[in-house]
């Protein structure tokens, strides 16, 4: 099947992640994710792949066995089934054929403007898949699914091309806390390393992301009527505000970029008797990440001395930097760079100020960098996907498999 048609077919199934169901522990949060997984499973079966499993959580795993007598690495490729909750309408994708520049009308009121998307000039002469201005496109991450299934089809139809074991895994609910990756049993994958396809324009390659944690601090005060509060009232709200005031100035999301870490005050709720403060902690360097976590613990300990143990702190790790499990000479980094070179693609290596499924999968023992899907403007009605970029996403992972066999 043509990769473009494959992608368009996937977009017709609305897999918007359901945050309420997710908060209630339901997986998949949207049953359409299971519907999409069943469609993909049938496609893989039609290619002749026999080792396929799909569980009730919508975790789909398929394995193409090696056809080589050599000892070759097993490589896994991951994508997620859900789309972001920013928009929940059905996708009505359309193709702009042979784009010749200028704004692209999504509907009679909304246009994809060159003034706001200067990179459009890079795609003159290409076909571009867009939304109709009422929904997401779903290239995040259905472009990845299409690219991976296209790769699987290639090796199934060309069995004379030597390759190691190829593992394919599609996961639910990435868009709300990497839930599918957290539910994944890495032993079911068994690969030496892997790749998520979950970043943007052609050439993007990510092997560094945040070490991420969160913190909840409960301040317990003493309530009193203001008419006789002197010497009795201990205001938990003011305790929380004092705590916030002691955080390093300038180390917040709105002041930082690139690899600069931060504390993010995410939530503050309560009253004079009890207040809950929620913080996110982000840092690329693992040692600095733990220093930030220790700083918060030390602050809480200090407050407990002042306020007679009225502060309770809870610190949690959320996900880790993939690079904690890699080095610059690792095959998982070198193979894509060589694939890019062979295919004439300029690599765009950048640190990711966020997380993705590979961060969790890497913690489970399968180092998993992140490769491009080709899409732009994820989580937006202005999301679009140049067709050549989609095709090259598939070509890159085909080339990775070939290079691993010949290296």
Binding-site residue numbers are 80, 140, 175, 198, 379
Indicate the DSSP class of residue 120. G
Q: How far apart are CA 398 and CA 322, in angstroms?
A: 22
Query: Minimal CA–CA distance to 56: which of 80, 28, 19?
Result: 28
Tally Cβ neighbours within 10 Å of residue 305. 9
Q: How far apart are CA 8 and CA 91, in angstroms?
A: 9
Q: What is the DSSP string of 170-216?
A: EES-TTTTSHHHHH--GGGT--SEEEEEEE-STTEEE--B-EEEEEE
Please state at what angle helix 3-11 crosses helix 31-46, rounded to 10 degrees: 150
Residues classed as catalytic: 82, 174
Q: How far apart are CA 133 and CA 127, in angstroms?
A: 18
* Annotated binding-site residue numbers for Zn(2+): 80, 140, 175, 198, 379
Contacts of 224 (CB under 8 A, 6+ apart): 232, 233
């Amino acid at each position: 099947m043509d990769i473009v048609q494959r992608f368009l077919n996937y977009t017709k199934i609305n897999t918007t992640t359901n945050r309420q169901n997710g908060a209630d522990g339901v997986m998949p949060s949207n049953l359409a994710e299971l519907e999409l997984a069943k469609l993909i499973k049938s496609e893989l079966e039609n290619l002749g792949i026999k080792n396929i499993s799909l569980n009730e959580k919508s975790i789909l795993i398929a394995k193409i066995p090696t056809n080589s007598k050599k000892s070759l690495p097993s490589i896994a490729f991951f994508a997620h089934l859900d789309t972001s909750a920013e928009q929940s309408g059905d996708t009505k994708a359309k193709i702009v054929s042979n784009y010749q520049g200028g704004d692209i009308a999504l509907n009679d009121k909304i246009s994809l403007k060159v003034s706001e998307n200067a990179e459009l000039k890079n795609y003159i002469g290409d076909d571009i898949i867009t939304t109709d201005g009422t929904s997401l496109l779903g290239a995040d991450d259905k472009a990845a699914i299409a690219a991976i299934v296209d790769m699987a089809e290639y090796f199934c139809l060309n069995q004379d091309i030597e390759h190691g074991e190829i593992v394919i895994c599609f996961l639910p609910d990435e868009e709300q806390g990497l839930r599918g990756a957290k539910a994944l049993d890495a032993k079911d994958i068994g690969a030496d390393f892997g790749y998520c396809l979950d970043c943007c324009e052609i050439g993007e390659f990510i092997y560094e992301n945040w070490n991420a944690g969160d913190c909840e601090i409960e301040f317990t005060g003493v309530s009193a009527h203001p008419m006789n509060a002197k010497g009795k009232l201990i205001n938990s709200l003011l305790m929380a505000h004092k705590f916030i005031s002691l955080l390093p100035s300038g180390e917040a999301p709105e002041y930082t970029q690139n690899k600069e870490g931060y504390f993010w005050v995410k939530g503050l709720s309560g009253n004079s008797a009890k207040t809950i403060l929620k913080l996110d902690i982000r840092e690329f360097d693992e040692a600095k990440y733990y220093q930030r976590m220790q700083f918060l613990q030390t602050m809480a300990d200090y407050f407990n001395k002042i306020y007679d143990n009225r502060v309770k702190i809870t610190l949690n790790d959320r996900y880790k930097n993939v690079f904690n499990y890699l080095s610059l000479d690792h095959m998982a980094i070198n193979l894509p760079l060589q694939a890019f070179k062979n295919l004439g693609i300029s690599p765009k290596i950048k640190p990711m100020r966020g997380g993705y499924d590979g961060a969790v999968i890497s913690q489970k023992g399968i180092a998993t960098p992140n490769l491009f899907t080709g899409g732009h403007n994820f989580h937006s009605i202005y999301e679009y996907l140049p067709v050549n970029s989609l095709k090259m996403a598939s070509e890159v992972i085909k080339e990775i498999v070939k290079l691993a066999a010949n290296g």
